[in-house]
Every structure is written in structure tokens, then in C-alpha cells.
Amino acid sequence: MTGRAFRCVACGGTAFSPRFTGCRDLYLGHPLVVDYARCSACSLVQQHPVPTDLGALYADYPIHAGKSGLHEWFRRVVLKGVYFDPRNLPAGSRLLDFGCGDGWFLDSIKKAGVGCEGYEFQPDHARRLSAQLGLPVFSETDHLARERAGAYQAITLHYVLEHVANPRATLASLAPLLAPGGLLYILVPNVESWEGRLFARRWHGLDPPRHISFPTPSVMQTLAADAGLLLETTRCVAFPSTSAASLVSVVAGRYRHALYLAALPAGLILSRLAPSGSLSYVLRKAGPTSFAQPTSS
């Protein structure tokens, strides 16, 4: 572990114990090797130290690249029941997809008739997505704060919060954008899951150096309260990609896409039998609401 002072990104605690050391990027091969620590106060597992230049970790990030039609179909099958279901929203609702990746989810809910907008922190990528989708995709949180206060019935963060250096500030900035009764739907990898413990540094959900922290239910409850929100539901979801890709890393020493496709049936079975590799959270803003919490489809 580095000699730099530890500071928990959730509670601000300064005492820690090592969790994983010498973690290499088994997915994309970035040269940065990182350590993870557990906060002694709130038990959050996070990188220590937190990288100072997060943008440099996403050069040529494949998650942002366009995908084939076959990949699109395949992804929808794998993610069925994992991502937010727009059928839970009433007519006339507006949704913000915060960290919208290659825009596939935005495109799908646009086709479902839901008013939607997106956010990506890299301006060039946000502009490309906006032109591609024919939707507003923002890259400045200040603009959202000025122009979209109280505008959204739902904000989605699908595998996004683990990437940010300050989850407390992120949730605090998003809460004012919700209409009364609106919700935040959050998906994060579950580092305390059986697969996180079994595969340890080779667990695909760890994804060093891009994943900074892994909020557990108790941590999320604190983060929600700090943002003026209520943690309404927590559930484990069946996400086969992490277990399948982890098996590949054990066998091949790093991620290999062809082997991942071969391992995916095993990942589907494992994730359905013991769905703990990811956690979904619903955070609600106080006020009347006319729509239900997300459910599995």
C-alpha cells in the first residue's frame, strides 16, 4: 500500500486495512497497477490512492464504441432484468441516463416512447452520441444544475458510480435534478459477492484501474441520506458477464473475448443460480409519486 494518506470517498474516514494489492488491468491492459483498501469506519472497498487523472483511463474505451447488430441483440438478452425497465414510468416521464456509454440504453427507451437525455463526462464523446441518437447528451454538470432542476422522474446510473472519484458529491449533484417522488436507479458490482471473494484480484467486476469504489447497502444508505434521498430497495441481480469473464481471466491470465463468449453459458447458469455479483439500488426523492419501483422482467 502507498504511503499517501487514506481518505474514504464515502465517509471521509482515515483508517483502513488492505483488501487487494498489486491489481493489474486484466481487461484492457492499462499499465497502472493499483491497490484496494477497506475503510475501517464504513467498510467501503476503494482504490488507495484514488487516481488523479481519471480521463486518461478511458482512452479508446471499448464500452464507448459502436456495436454490431448481433452484439446489440446479445446484450439485450444478457441484460434482461438488470437495467432499468422504462415500463415502470408513466406517460410523459423524463429520464436522464447518467454515464450512457455507447448510448444503447438511451436509444432503447427513446424507441419505447420515454422522454430521455444523457450525460457523459467527455465532451467529444457526448457530442458524438448526441448527434448519433438525436437526443441531448450533456457533458457539464453545471448545465444540468441550471437547466434541469426537478426535471426528471428517473435518473439511471448503470455501472457508473463505481467509476467516480467522489460518489457522495455525484449523488448530491443528481438529487436536485429529480422531480418530487423521482428515483435514482443504480447498478454497481458487488465486491462482497461470492464471485468477488472467489476470484479476488481476477474478478472481472473489480476492473482496475477504472473501478474506484464498491458501495455496499450500508454505505449506499449513508450516501443516499447525505443527498437527501431515501434508499428504498436493494437487491442482487443476475449479471452473467462478471462471472464468465472472471473464469476467462483465471484460465487465460486476462480477458479474451472469444473465450468470454465460450464461457458465457456457464456465467448465465451461475448468475441465475446465485445472483450476487451485482447490486441494484433504488433511491427515492421525497414527494408524491405515481409510478412503481423497478421490477425484474
Residue with the larger pLDDT of the pair 40 and 110: 40
Given pLDDT bands bounded at 50, 70 and 90, which one contains residue 1?
low
Of 163, 171, 50, 194, nearest in space to 100 by CA: 163
The reported pLDDT for the residue numbered 87 is 82
DSSP codes, 141-198: HHHHHHH-TT-EEEEEEES-GGG-S-HHHHHHHHGGGEEEEEEEEEEEE-TTSHHHHH
Identify the sign of the CA torsion 17, 19, 21, 24: negative
The reported pLDDT for the residue numbered 158 is 96
Express each pLDDT in 217-276 by its tens digit: 999 999 999 999 999 999 999 899 999 999 999 999 999 999 999 999 999 898 889 999
pTM here? 0.92
The reported pLDDT for the residue numbered 296 is 44
CB 213, CB 167: distance < 8 Å: yes
Residue with the larger pLDDT of the pair 274 and 290: 274
Say if strands 137-138 and 115-119 run parallel, antiparallel, or are unpaired: parallel
For the domain spanning 61-285, the CATH number is 3.40.50.150
Which has the minimum average pLDDT: 3-12, 39-48, 285-294? 285-294
CB 115, CB 92: distance < 8 Å: yes
Q: What torsion do the CA atoms of 63, 189, 135, 62 make, to the nearest 10 degrees?
A: 0
3-state DSSP assignment of residue 268:
helix
pLDDT higher than 50, residue 195: yes
User: In sequence order, what E strands does 174-285 have?
Assistant: 178-189, 213-214, 229-237, 278-285
Give the amino acid at 111. Answer: K
Residue with the larger pLDDT of the pair 161 and 87: 161
CB 31, CB 189: distance < 8 Å: no
Q: What is the mean pLDDT of residues 208-224?
A: 97
Express each pLDDT in 97-144 by its tens digit: 999 988 989 988 888 888 999 999 889 999 999 999 999 999 988 889
Residues with Cβ within 8 Å of 76's Cβ and at least 6 positions away in sequence, in order, are: 108
Query: What's the chain's average pLDDT?
Result: 90
The reported pLDDT for the residue numbered 95 is 96
Element housing 116 (H / E): strand 115-119
Given pLDDT bands bounded at 50, 70 and 90, which one contains residue 289?
low
Residues with Cβ within 8 Å of 95's Cβ and at least 6 positions away in sequence, in order, are: 84, 86, 89, 109, 114, 115, 116, 117, 152, 153, 154, 155, 156
The reported pLDDT for the residue numbered 59 is 77
Residue written as cell 454538470? 141
φ, ψ of residue 17 to 5 degrees: the values are -130, 150
pLDDT higher than 80, residue 2: no
